[in-house]
Amino acid sequence: MNTKKEIVDKIYKILWEDQTSTVFDKEWEVVPKMNEIVDKICRCNVTNILTQTKIRGWILDFLYEEKTIRIPETKRLMEDIDENSTSITLDKPDDLPASWYISIEWNIVKYWAINDWVLSQLTWINWYHKAGSTVYFAYQMPSKVLKPADIFDNENQTLLSFVDFRENIWFRRCYTIKPHKWKKIAVFYNIDSPVMISYSKRLDPMETDDDECWLPDDYWIKIIPNLVCWELLIDTSEVQKGERLLSIWYAELEDMYSFYATPTKQFRKKIKVAPMIIWERDDFIPNAQTIW
């Protein structure tokens, strides 16, 4: 087991304090700090407070998940719409989900119903869009998604290209991630086939005593209580306590990252070089040579 109660008990044991302590309040300081440390570990966003450097992490295997979705065909607006529109008429909405998200010129719009060719019960139309505008399928990432990793193009058996949503994407088979209303929305361009989304999930905060931490092996008890304790001690100006041990616990975290992480892929970029023309001095006949 690796429950909240076990971690909290360990924290107070290290602090040499009772859990009724007013110096380190359990509900207002200790538990929030514990959940904060776990969240930072999952985000690979832990800073070594001794050296003020971030501890490097990658995609953690125990947080990795995949989901396959079908991308509907690209649509067109059949009439102008603006902020006051109550419906959207498309040229071919038959393959859209009954209620979902679409993207029109970077504007994420949610609809709640489809009747024939018309989307209705709309929210988030932010500006005017003219008839003929392209309508792309948008997918709201599950709330547990911490960070999208890759999206795999099932039809072409390749990773789908990621672009900034402000780039020129009209003829590219690609996707973007756009933050919207505190959510992550994936917008797909020029795709009408299944894709597989891979991502790192977030761990739920530990609230009740029997809630589990889900860090693997015994890292949950070796790392979390100690990092929580020494951050609390530093907050109370007891900086000198346990600096040597703190460096050991950071090393344990690095060990967990290296064992359970999938390294980020490094892709070599192909460099295209224009042909070099060499002119022979006698007859000036062009001799094209390509540099690779």
How many percent of the chain have pLDDT more than 70?
85
Q: Which residue has the higher pLDDT, 224 or 168?
A: 224
Residue 226 has pLDDT above 60, yes or no: yes
The whole-number pLDDT of residue 238 equals 54
Residue 15 has pLDDT above 90, yes or no: no
Q: How does pLDDT run across 73-119, given as a tens digit for each residue?
A: 999 999 999 999 999 999 987 889 999 999 998 899 999 999 988 99
| Global pTM value | 0.73
How far CA 58 is from CA of 35, 53, 176, in Å, comes to: 20, 16, 21
Per residue, what are the HEC states of 82-126?
CCCCCEEEECCCCCCCCCEEEEECCEEEEEEEEECCEEEEEECCC
Rounded Cα gap, residues 98 and 100, in angstroms: 7
Rounded Cα gap, residues 73 and 229, in angstroms: 53
